[in-house]
Amino acid sequence: MEGHPASACAGAQEIECPSSLANVQPLRLSASVCYDATDLGIAADLRERSDVYVIPALNKDVQTFDNITLALSYQMYQLVVVANNGRYGGSSAYWPIGAPHERRLMHLHGEHQPTLGFFRIKDVVEYRRGRLEHLDDRYRWKTPPAGYSKK
């Protein structure tokens, strides 16, 4: 672990951090339960402190949380994931890129069935760079919302 900043390799006691990641900021995750996700003040506070916002849910109102996920992905300008309980279904993931048909990464519906959805951020560096620099190359991010600062 010598020669690597602690921020890039924190918690990597058994896995050597490659030198190519020495200056890479880690992906910042934040979360709140479904009810707290309806508080726009929390979303505003977390918007520039995280790169991915996760909402674990046990909620019957699937349609409302589908809409919240899509809206928050733009308002927070990041990937937003709702993982609802299989009892009610309605798990989804959206991110604010330009093409409407590409914004939805995952959308799982159906009651009383276990369902697993998988997706990955293939290039974390490019994801964070596009979000911070509003690049129109690989991910084609939408124009940032009003008040968004690049931190």
* Range of the structural domain that residue 56 is part of: 28-109+120-133
- 135, two tokens: 């690049």
Q: How confident is the model at residue 68 (pLDDT cuts 50, 70, 90)?
A: very high
Domain-located, residue 17: no
Domain-located, residue 67: yes
- For residue range 119-137, what is the model confidence (pLDDT) as tens digits? 888 888 878 877 777 655 5
Domain-located, residue 9: no
Distance between alpha carbon 110 and the CA centroid of its chain, in Å?
Answer: 23
User: What integer is the mean pLDDT of 85-93?
Assistant: 85
Q: How many CB atoms lie within 10 A of CB 65?
A: 23
Domain-located, residue 144: no
Domain-located, residue 10: no
Q: Are the CB atoms for 79 and 51 separated by under 8 Å? A: yes
Domain-located, residue 114: no
Report how many domains make up the chain.
1
Q: Are the CB atoms for 65 and 90 separated by under 8 Å? A: yes
Q: Are the CB atoms for 139 and 129 separated by under 8 Å? A: no
Rounded distance between C-alpha atoms, residue 101 and residue 95, angstroms: 11
Q: What is the mean pLDDT of the chain?
A: 79
Identify the pLDDT of residue 72. Answer: 95
User: What integer is the mean pLDDT of 68-82?
Assistant: 94
Domain-located, residue 141: no
Domain-located, residue 48: yes
SS (H, E, C) the chain: CCCCCHHHHCCCCCCCCCHHHCCCCCCCEEECCHHHHCCHHHHHHHCCCCCEEEEEECCCCHHHHHHHHHHHHHHCCCEEEEEECCCCCCEEEECCECCHHHHEEEEECCCCCCCCCCCCCCCHHHHHHHHHHCCCCCCCECCCCCCCCCC
pLDDT at 140 over 60: yes
Rounded distance between C-alpha atoms, residue 66 and residue 88, angstroms: 13
- For residue range 3-51, what is the model confidence (pLDDT) as tens digits? 434 444 444 434 444 555 556 678 899 999 989 999 999 999 999 899 9
Model confidence, pTM: 0.78
User: What integer is the mean pLDDT of 81-88?
Assistant: 86
- 24, two tokens: 């890479």
Of all residues in the chain, the percent with pLDDT exceeding 90 is: 32
